[in-house]
Chain A
Amino acid sequence: MTTEHAPASMYRATEGLGVWEHKGKVAAVGIGHSPTTRRWDGTPENTMGANSIFALRQAIADSGVDPSQIDGLVLDPVTTTGAHWPPGDPIPMDVVNHWNKTDDPLDGIAKLSAEWILKNMPELTNVKFTMYGQGCMSHAIVVAAQAVGEGRTHTCLVLKSWHNLEGRYNQSGISAQGEVPGTFALAPGRTLWGAPGSYGTALQFAEYCRKYGKSHDMMAPFMENSRRNGLLFPEGYWAQHRPEQLTPDDYLNARWIAKPANLFDNDIPIMVSGAYLFTTAERAKDMKQKPVYIINHASSRGAQRSVLPTLDEVEAETAATGRKIYEGAGITADDLSFENMYDGFALFHQFHIEGLRYRGMQNGDALDFYQKDISIEGPDPILPSGGNIGSGRSRFWMHTDCIQQIQGRAGARALTGVKPEIGVSGGPMPMGGNFTVWSATPD
């Protein structure tokens, strides 16, 4: 079976599309996560592929669905956290041969195909639909939701996995070479000038602070809240390995990476897999878990004019994203119980929630909002998942939290200041990402 990338037509990327035609007809009914680790230990049992299988089986068990009933699989084939297999380095064939392999020996180690999953999960006997939603879990979710809505699959696994290898973030490969191609040298992002990954976000944040009279130290309550929520997320990296609260002093005294972005403004790259099971609302009625209905998905495909998105470009795009989210769901900002927009890098979360007009905020309001009660106990919760800052770079804690909050399974993280009925999650970038609206009811 050949697996194709999702066509552009499966993403709802423009305004004016009206209410999503499959609103409330798709539901999440199962969740699974692998354990987290900082890096791969080199053993066959702890590869990214092994984590993937673990998470998928957890999601299946959580849903109570018999594996033979599953007929779809959507995943992201790109699994790097910024770590790439060094060209020329020998591939450990004992690891490769531990699993049922594909033609690519790095499959299951540093990349992931649907074929590898199906070869190594013999219980999935009935999968007839596979598709790639490349980017992160936010991509895979909207592709899977659209696929179930369109009837391409009725019981579909959704998977995102990450591998992390030895070595520092993005410092291998082209960063270590003496020469670079001319096009790379001039491209946005990593270039001849040596910009770290968070540099672009740092500059947008700097412009934001100049325009609205804000400062980096105003981020401290947000960071403290995110780590607190992350430590209440037992599936997360910090909760599992380093259960340390982050104080404002810790945050404000951290070393810079790309000033004004410091160490904690960057999420920590980890190994982890996450999986969900989606099905039709009709089938979901009688399943083990309370269904959480998807009432819209929306995508952002912003295009910057030149090297770096300007603040004006970012704010225009996030506002458009907010309008698409509400239009397709047939709701307004007032209907949101909570938000779980993307946060890794921390310094762009405010763009997402201002674009949403969350709790009525306008551009330039978010950092003042962070100085108020943004806890899970209050009426205006910010990022109850703790996000990637609170639990490590998975880019799926926000989705898991939306499902768990609405199901009443968020444990110590449960929202108590609001009744969790409608939540929104997604990202990653303010200029480009995918977003999902989750609801306790289909309408």
Chain B
Amino acid sequence: MVKQGVVPDDLTKPFWDAANAGRLDIQNCSACNRLYNPPVAACTQCKSADNLEWKQMSGKGKIYNYGVVYDCPVRLLQQDQPFNLAVITLDEDPGIQMYSHLPGTPVDEVPVGAAVEVIFEETANGQKVPEWRVVG
């Protein structure tokens, strides 16, 4: 599945640069030790932007939940319908979620709770994006 191209902007550029380098970096407030995805302009706890940094994750997670998309609004993905769309939680912090199409997992045969690991796929304009596949 080829996703729409991504044009990094100021807030998200470190995330996308890391993906191009094969790393999963997630925003973190070093003062509060609190991870953020999606990234934020300021920490919601200390309200400061001064301590926001990007922290490399292990790339390990779990499948938290999923649905099957049959009627996708995004034109580029419609040729791939139906497809899985899962929510992954990171092992470092199960409160942090990421979307995944779960490449390699048959449609509607998603093992909720299973371990997954990050991979990186190219989007339509070559920007890489984190994806996840079931381990083992």
Q: Do A and B come from one complex?
A: yes
The answer for the CA separation of A297 and B10 in the assembled complex, in Å, is: 40
In chain A, what residue has the closest Cβ to B37? A306
Known A199-B85, A306-B97, A307-B38; judge A181-B72 contact (CB<8 A).
no
Q: Knowing A192-B3, A193-B85 touch, does A256 contact B71 (C-beta < 8 A)?
A: yes
**How far, in whole Å, are A305 and B125 apart by their CA atoms in the complex?**
30
Residue of B nearest to A179 (CB): B5
B111 contacts the other chain (Cβ, under 8 Å)?
A: no
In the bound complex, CA of A307 to CA of B127 (Å)? 21
Contact among B44, B64, B75, B124 for A175, CB-based, below 8 A: B75
B69 touches A179 (CB 8 A): no
Interface: A194 (CB within 8 A): yes
Bound state CA distance, A340 and B44, in angstroms? Answer: 34
What are 28 A-to-B residue pairs whose CB atoms are below 8 Å? Answer: A178-B4, A178-B5, A179-B125, A180-B6, A180-B7, A181-B7, A182-B6, A182-B9, A185-B6, A187-B38, A191-B99, A194-B69, A194-B72, A195-B85, A196-B69, A199-B85, A206-B66, A255-B71, A256-B71, A256-B82, A259-B69, A259-B82, A260-B67, A261-B67, A306-B38, A306-B95, A307-B97, A307-B98
Q: Kindly list 16 other residue pairs between chains A and B, CB separation below 8 angstroms, not including A171-B75, A192-B6.
A: A170-B73, A179-B4, A182-B15, A183-B39, A192-B99, A194-B74, A194-B77, A195-B69, A202-B67, A258-B71, A259-B68, A259-B82, A261-B67, A306-B95, A307-B87, A308-B87
- B96 lies within 8 A of A256 (CB): no
B53 at the interface (CB under 8 A from A): no
Contacts A203-B65, A256-B82 known; A182 to B99 CB distance under 8 Å? no
CA distance A398 to B2 in the complex (A): 42
Collect the chain B residues with CB atoms within 8 Å of residue A190's CB: 73-74
A179: B residues at CB distance < 8 A: 4-7, 124-125
Measured CB to CB, the residues of A under 8 A from B are: 168-171, 175-183, 185-188, 190-197, 199, 202-203, 206-207, 210, 255-261, 303, 305-308, 310
A147 to chain B, nearest CB (A): 31
Q: Does B29 contact A (CB under 8 A)?
A: no
List residues of chain B with CB under 8 Å of any chain A CB: 3-9, 11-13, 15-16, 37-39, 44, 64-77, 82-83, 85, 87, 95-101, 108, 112, 123-125, 129
Taking a contact as CB atoms under 8 Å apart, the answer to whether A178 and B125 are in contact is yes
Name the one of B9, B37, B87, B123 contacting A192, with C-beta atoms under 8 angstroms.
B123
Q: Out of B12, B37, B73, B108, which one reaches A196, CB within 8 Å?
A: B73
B112→A210 contact, CB < 8 A: yes
| B76 and A178 within 8 A (CB) | yes
Q: Closest approach, in angstroms, between the C-beta of B14 and any C-beta of chain A?
A: 10
- Report the bound CA distance from A185 to B11 in whole Å: 12
The answer on a CB contact under 8 Å between A182 and B75 is no
Quick check: B72 and A196 within 8 Å, CB to CB?
yes
**Contacts A193-B99, A257-B70, A305-B95 given: A186-B12 contact, CB under 8 Å?**
yes
B100's closest neighbor in chain A, by CB?
A193
From residue B75, how far is it (CB to closest CB) to chain A in Å?
5
Most chain B CB neighbours (cut-off 10 Å) among A169, A171, A194, A206: A194
| Contact among B3, B68, B85, B96 with A306 in the assembled complex (CB-CB below 8 Å) | B96
Residues from chain B with a CB closer than 8 A to the CB of A203 are 65-67, 87
Residues of A within 8 A of B66 (CB): 203, 206
In the assembled complex, the CB of B85 is this many whole angstroms from the nearest CB of chain A, namely: 6
The 9 closest A-B pairs by CB, nearest first: A182-B12, A179-B5, A194-B74, A306-B97, A259-B68, A194-B77, A193-B99, A194-B72, A182-B8
